[in-house]
Amino acid sequence: MALQITESNFEAEVINSPIPVLIDFWATWCGPCRMISPIVDQVATEMAGVAKVGKINVDEAGALAVRYGVKNIPTLIFIKNGEEVDRIQGATSKDNIIAKLKSCL
């Protein structure tokens, strides 16, 4: 299961993470977000210990969405050493997500 990332735990969970982090920017009212949510949770389980996977609700943490220039959701952002290294906008396949995450390792 993916971590719930908030403005209060963002620094500890994402910026200071010793392993790469995948962040899923989503909202409850977004159909494509709900479609990929179980895929993101599967990736979190499969990559546990190798990479961290978290979700940020843009309605609850709008400042983080602004900080990363998220204009469309879902947006998946890959972070390594506190810096964005890649992103995917829109729904995508589990294989594509895992391939991009592995390229961050």
Residues with a catalytic annotation lie at 30, 33
Backbone angles phi, psi at 86, to 5 degrees: -165, 165
Residue 69 is given by DSSP the state T
d(CA 78, CA 85): 6
Residue 2 is given by DSSP the state -
